Structures are given as C-alpha cells and as structure tokens.
C-alpha cells in the first residue's frame, strides 16, 4: 500500500459503502410505498415497514456517513501535513465502530430496535442498539482526537506556519464534531442505556429529544463539511484551476465551527415545554448559517469559472461548457452542489418558526434531506470514491462511463424524488407512513396522485443509479490490474490563486495574510463555539433537569 495508513482508510471507506449498499437497497421499496405499491407483503425478512425504515435511516444517515468521513478526514489531513497517523489508534477506532455497528445491526435486524433513526423515547429498544450507537460515535471521536493531536504536534514543529487548507478544514470539522456529538453521547450513555437495561425506571422524553437534536442538527454539518472540503480544496484542481480564495474557505469553516451546534432547537418548534424565546434566538442563529453557505457557493463558483477561463472559456454562462463534464469525479460533485441549492432553500423554510408548522412531519422533510445528505453529501462521496479508491488501491476506475451514468441518474432520481416529496408535504401527506396499513388518508391521497407517482418513479431511477454505482465500485475493488507507483492517481490538493500569484512574484495582500493569521487560532474559535453553545443551551437544560417528567417506556423488544 505504500503509505500504511492507506489500508485503514480503505477499510473505513469500503465498510461505509457496504452499509450504504444495504441501506439504499430498501429505499426504492419505501418510494414504492409512497406510490401505494406494497412490496413488503412479499418480504418475509422484514417484520414491518418501520423495521425497514429504521435500517434505511440508521445505515445511510448515521453509519455510512460516519465511516466514510472518519476514513476521509483521517487520511487527507495526515497527507496534507505529511504526518503518519498512529495506526494502532486508527484501527482501534475502526474496530470500536465496527463492534458497535454489529451490535446495533443485530438489534435492528432482529426487530428489537425498530425505533427509526431518531430513536425517540418512550419507544424503547434493546440495549444492544444504544450501546452500539454509542460505540459508533466513540469511534469517530477517537479519530477526531487523533487528527487534532496530530495537528497540534505539527503546529509545535512548524511555528508561524499556516496550516495547509485541507488539514485546517478537517481540524475545524473534527472540533465541531467534538462539541456537537456531546448531546448524543449524554443522551445515550446517561439516559437510554441505563433505562433500557432496567437500571432506571423512566426517562424524560423531552430532555432526550433536546439532547438528540443538540447533536441532530449539527450532524448535518458533520455530513456536509467533508463535501465542502472536496468542493473548496480538491475540485478546483480536478477542474483544472485554482482555489479562488483560501481565506474565504477558512473563514467559512470558522463560521461553521461557531454556528453549527447552538441551533438544534429549530427541530423542536412543535415540542411544547420549551421556551419560545430560545427557539426564536436559535432560529435567528440558524439563518446566520446561510452566510458561510453563500461564501462557499460564490467562492467555489469562482474557482470553477477560473478553471474554465484557463481552458479558454468566457461569457456569463458560456464558460461552463469548458468544464470537464466527461469526468465523473467532476460532474458528480457539480451535480451534488446543484442539488444543494434547492436543499438549502427548503432548509430555510424548515428553520422558520411559522413556515415549519406547514411542513412539520410531512413528506416535505425526507424530500429535503434527500437532496442535502442524500445527494449533496452522498453524490460528493461517490465522486470522492471514484478517485480515492483508485488512489488507495492503485487499481484504475472500472468504467468511467458507468460512473458518469450513475451520477446523472442519482441526481435526476433525487430531483424527481424531492419534487414529489415536497409537493406531497404541501398537500399534507405525512412522512413515516405505511400506506397499506394507514387509514383515513384516502381523500389526501386522491389529491396527491401525481407527486406520489413521482416518488415511486424516482425510486426506480435511483435503484438503477445505485446498481451502476456499486457495479463500478466492486469491479474497481475486485479488478486485477494495478498501475505502477508513478502512475498512481494523485491526491488533488489544489493551489490557491494567492499562492500562484505569490509564486509569480506578485506578492499578496498583507490584509489577507493578517486575516489568515487570525483564523489560524482554531483553539480560540473552539473555545468561543463552546461558550456560545453553553449560552444557547444551558438555560434550557437547567429548566428540563429541574422539572423532570420521566415516563416508563414502551418496550419494543
């Protein structure tokens, strides 16, 4: 493998993709359910629609993402810093996660943890599920601490130097995750595990939900920031250009570090018992997250325009024709970014106290997160796998054409899915509903025939996309040809415009150099983020702890 950390990275990525394969296999069945076609009656291994949905949500949103991100954000920063990770620690993280996932999977497959991916109490699943979920998060935190420690050591050995961009962004993401994962860890370890083991008599559902959403919203940034790293710092080189603004990229990551966590209450607008004042404050903070998202959109757009200009492109939109559309690594990422535009717009609706009332718990919500985590993140991870697996294994990508088709079909499948689901949501069709077993929906269903059919069709398109994608991946991994070390796919670390200008002797702006020096103090921003979280959440947690309402639990196992 050349670099020994390649092997552990490959294990993280491939295990994550195997989890996605199982999780995604159930998706089309759910889509058919929305088209009122019930295939569950022919599936003896699933006890209910909800068991399948639990498996789908947990494997896709929690397990696939955590493995993929842990591998990616261990490998990239270490290579960017030129430091080898401690392999014993990296493997310990991998096995901690894997033992956890096996425990949780055992519980879900045995129908002992059909809790959906939010596992809200008072529904109570097997302790194996909660312990497994805790181990998954602990595994990711081991990687987080390792990367932060490696970076701190690098800083000590390179005083006064600016951290390479990819490493900087990775460290900021891991710092954010250290703060953000606390809610889930406390919920599971302090409340749900003892409760499911029968050591405590009850658990307060509102407190548990608040802890869940403390992590549950920030986790969406944990899913999307690794995609941003690829868009900001790798895609420019893949497109044949440079990073338009290195300092803008750093600034947006600092803003994400500060703003990702203290906004979770916007998932609980309809939970009574929480202060409307704090909900409003957190709503306003949520809107602030638009700022780094816009910074990203404009600066990544500028990088692509620079790349197209370098290939002779010009005009307002004409330059887009000069981009390398035949390369699946490039195209999948651009399609992922495009899907994020309606995804972000829908997110603003969800985060608005008044508008959320119209869409809460309707099909709108899965419509929203399939074009964010299900496309912006997942399709970017597809793109990354198209170059990173060949890089790690020295095996060429099995079929460029098939990879390209899988990206386009995934994109269009998810767009059709999102149109259908958002539309259904506006009619009032609920999410998490097994249509064959539901009563009282017929009037609403008759008004939603077109969008429900769209959801069903999108499921079929996505099934084809998934088959093509996994065929490319397995054919690549199982291929026999290996290229020489010299022909290895390089890691596409991009240069910034400022670096190129400095090399050309044009110097750089002292103001920007000063800004980068300030942004370099990630520990200061980490402390500020922690303080902001305390201010935003402490009053709510104190009030919940002082007025507990424990309930015994509805045992499902």
Q: Is 451 in the site for ligand HEM (CB under 6 A)?
A: no
Could you tell me if 436 and 38 are in contact, meaning their C-beta atoms sit under 8 angstroms apart?
yes
**Contact pick of 459, 489, 496, 519 for ligand HEM (by CB under 6 A):** 459
Q: How far apart are CA 118 and CA 114, in angstroms?
A: 10
**Contact pick of 9, 10, 40, 57 for ligand HEM (by CB under 6 A):** 57
Q: Is 466 in the site for ligand HEM (CB under 6 A)?
A: yes
Q: How far apart are CA 553 and CA 376, in angstroms?
A: 37
Q: What is the largest CA-CA distance in the chain?
A: 72
Give the residue with the Cβ less far from ligand HEM, 172 or 454.
454
Q: Is 211 exposed, middle or buried (0-12, 13-18, 19+ CB in 10 A)?
A: buried
Q: What part of residues 326-345 is at the interface with ligand HEM (CB under 6 A)?
A: none
Per DSSP, the three-state class of 397 is coil
Q: Is 19 in the site for ligand HEM (CB under 6 A)?
A: no
Q: What part of residues 165-224 is at the interface with ligand HEM (CB under 6 A)?
A: none
Q: Is 117 in the site for ligand HEM (CB under 6 A)?
A: yes
Give the residue with the Cβ less far from ligand HEM, 28 or 264.
28
Return the sign of the alpha-carbon dihedral for residues 76, 79, 82, 87: positive
Per DSSP, the three-state class of 430 is strand
| Omega within 30 of 0 (cis) for the link into 122 | yes
State the nearest-atom distance from the C-beta of 489 to ligand HEM, in Å.
Answer: 25
Q: How far apart are CA 495 and CA 244, in angstroms?
A: 9
Q: How far apart are CA 305 and CA 313, in angstroms?
A: 8
**Contact pick of 14, 31, 359, 409 for ligand HEM (by CB under 6 A):** 31
Residue 231's Cβ-side half-sphere holds a number of Cα atoms within 13 Å equal to 30
Structure tokens at 492: 């596409």
Q: Is 296 in the site for ligand HEM (CB under 6 A)?
A: no
Query: Given the rule CB under 6 A, which of 23-31, 74-82, 84-92, 313-321 is the region that contacts ligand HEM?
Result: 23-31
Structure tokens at 207: 């407190």
Give the residue with the Cβ less far from ligand HEM, 63 or 285.
63
Q: Is 28 in the site for ligand HEM (CB under 6 A)?
A: yes
Give the residue with the Cβ less far from ligand HEM, 304 or 466.
466
Q: Which of 267, 370, 391, 422 is catalytic?
A: 370
**Contact pick of 34, 177, 232, 256 for ligand HEM (by CB under 6 A):** 34
**Contact pick of 9, 15, 30, 210 for ligand HEM (by CB under 6 A):** 30
Helix%, strand%, coil% for the chain, nearest 5: 75, 0, 25
**Contact pick of 9, 15, 51, 60 for ligand HEM (by CB under 6 A):** 60
Q: How far apart are CA 190 and CA 184, in angstroms?
A: 10
**Contact pick of 7, 155, 311, 432 for ligand HEM (by CB under 6 A):** 432
Per DSSP, the three-state class of 496 is strand
Catalytic-residue membership of 214: no
Could you tell me if 439 and 502 are in contact, meaning their C-beta atoms sit under 8 angstroms apart?
no
92 Cβ neighbours under 8 A, 6+ residues apart: 142
Q: What part of residues 238-277 is at the interface with ligand HEM (CB under 6 A)?
A: none
Q: What part of residues 368-387 is at the interface with ligand HEM (CB under 6 A)?
A: 370, 373-374, 378
Give the residue with the Cβ less far from ligand HEM, 168 or 381.
381
Give the residue with the Cβ less far from ligand HEM, 369 or 525.
369
Catalytic-residue membership of 555: no
Catalytic-residue membership of 360: no
Give the residue with the Cβ less far from ligand HEM, 27 or 121.
27
Residue written as token pair 């790349």? 307
State the nearest-atom distance from the C-beta of 57 to ligand HEM, in Å.
Answer: 3
State the nearest-atom distance from the C-beta of 117 to ligand HEM, in Å.
Answer: 4
Structure tokens at 156: 């000590």
Q: How far apart are CA 408 and CA 259, in angstroms?
A: 33
Return the sign of the alpha-carbon dihedral for residues 405, 408, 412, 418: positive
State the nearest-atom distance from the C-beta of 388 to ligand HEM, in Å.
Answer: 18
State the nearest-atom distance from the C-beta of 28 to ligand HEM, in Å.
Answer: 5
Catalytic-residue membership of 221: yes
**Contact pick of 366, 420, 451, 553 for ligand HEM (by CB under 6 A):** 366
Start-to-end CA span in the chain (Å): 44
**Contact pick of 462, 473, 519, 536 for ligand HEM (by CB under 6 A):** 462
Per DSSP, the three-state class of 464 is helix
* Secondary structure in 3-state letters for 64-86: HHHHHHHHHHHHHHHHHHCCCCC
Catalytic-residue membership of 369: yes
Q: How far apart are CA 470 and CA 24, in angstroms?
A: 11
Q: Is 24 in the site for ligand HEM (CB under 6 A)?
A: yes
State the nearest-atom distance from the C-beta of 467 to ligand HEM, in Å.
Answer: 10
The site that binds ligand HEM (CB under 6 A) totals a number of residues, namely 24
Could you tell me if 333 and 379 are in contact, meaning their C-beta atoms sit under 8 angstroms apart?
yes
DSSP 362: B
Q: How far apart are CA 548 and CA 553, in angstroms?
A: 15
Per DSSP, the three-state class of 401 is helix
**Contact pick of 329, 431, 516, 544 for ligand HEM (by CB under 6 A):** 431
State the nearest-atom distance from the C-beta of 95 to ligand HEM, in Å.
Answer: 23
**Contact pick of 16, 27, 121, 328 for ligand HEM (by CB under 6 A):** 27
Q: Which of 79, 217, 237, 267 is catalytic?
A: 217
**Contact pick of 10, 19, 53, 233 for ligand HEM (by CB under 6 A):** 53
State the nearest-atom distance from the C-beta of 14 to ligand HEM, in Å.
Answer: 17
Active site residues: 217, 221, 368-370, 431-432
Would you tell me which residues interact with ligand HEM (CB under 6 A)?
Answer: 24, 27-28, 30-31, 34, 53, 56-57, 60-61, 116-117, 366, 370, 373-374, 378, 431-433, 459, 462, 466
């Amino acid at each position: 493998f050349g670099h020994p950390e390649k092997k552990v990275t490959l294990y993280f990525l491939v295990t994550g993709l195997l989890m996605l394969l199982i999780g995604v296999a159930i998706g089309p069945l759910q889509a058919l359910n929305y088209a009122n076609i019930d295939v569950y009656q022919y599936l003896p291994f699933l006890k209910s629609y909800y068991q399948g949905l639990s498996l789908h949500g947990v494997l896709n949103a929690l397990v696939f993402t955590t493995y993929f991100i842990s591998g990616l954000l261990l490998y990239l920063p270490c290579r960017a810093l030129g430091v080898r990770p401690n392999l014993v620690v990296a493997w310990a993280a991998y096995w901690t996660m894997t033992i956890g996932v096996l425990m949780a999977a055992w519980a879900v497959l045995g129908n002992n943890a059909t809790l959906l991916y939010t596992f809200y109490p008072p529904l109570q699943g097997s302790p194996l599920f909660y312990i497994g979920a805790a181990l998954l998060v602990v595994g990711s935190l081991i990687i987080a601490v390792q990367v932060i420690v490696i970076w701190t050591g690098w800083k000590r050995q390179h005083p006064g130097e600016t951290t390479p961009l990819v490493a900087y962004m990775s460290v900021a993401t891991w710092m954010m995750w250290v703060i953000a994962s606390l809610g889930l860890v406390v919920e599971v370890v302090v409340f749900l595990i003892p409760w499911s083991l029968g050591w405590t008599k009850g658990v307060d559902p509102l407190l548990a939900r608040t802890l869940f959403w403390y992590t549950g919203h920030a986790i969406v940034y944990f899913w999307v920031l690794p995609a941003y790293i690829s868009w900001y710092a790798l895609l420019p080189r893949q497109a044949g250009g440079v990073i338009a603004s290195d300092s803008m990229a750093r600034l947006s990551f600092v803003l994400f570090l500060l703003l990702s966590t203290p906004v979770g209450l916007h998932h609980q607008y309809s939970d009574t018992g929480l202060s409307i004042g704090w909900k409003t404050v957190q709503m306003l903070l949520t809107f602030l997250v638009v700022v780094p998202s816009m910074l990203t959109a404009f600066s990544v757009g500028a990088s692509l325009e620079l790349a197209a200009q370098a290939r002779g492109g010009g005009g307002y939109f004409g330059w887009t024709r000069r981009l390398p559309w035949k390369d699946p690594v490039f195209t999948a990422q651009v399609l992922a970014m495009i899907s994020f535009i309606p995804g972000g717009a829908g997110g603003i609706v969800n985060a608005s106290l008044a508008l959320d009332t119209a869409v809460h718990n309707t099909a709108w919500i899965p419509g929203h997160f399939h074009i964010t985590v299900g496309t912006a993140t997942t399709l970017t991870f597809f793109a990354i796998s198209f170059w990173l697996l060949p890089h790690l294994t020295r095996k060429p990508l099995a079929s460029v054409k098939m990879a390209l088709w899988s990206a386009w079909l995934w994109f269009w499948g998810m767009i059709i899915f999102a149109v259908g689901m958002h539309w259904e949501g506006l009619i009032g069709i609920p999410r998490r509903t097994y249509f064959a077993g539901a009563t009282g929906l017929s009037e609403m269903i008759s008004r939603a025939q077109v969008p429900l059919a769209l959801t069903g069709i999108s499921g079929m398109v996505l099934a084809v996309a998934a088959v093509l994608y996994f065929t490319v991946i397995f054919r690549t991994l199982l291929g026999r040809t290996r290229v020489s070390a010299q022909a290895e796919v390089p890691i596409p670390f991009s240069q910034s415009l400022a670096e190129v200008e400095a090399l050309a002797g044009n110097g750089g702006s002292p103001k920007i150099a000063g800004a980068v020096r300030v942004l370099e103090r990630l520990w200061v921003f980490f402390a500020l983020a922690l303080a902001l979280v305390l201010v935003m959440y402490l009053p709510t947690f104190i009030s919940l702890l002082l007025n507990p309402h424990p309930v015994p639990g509805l045992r499902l196992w």
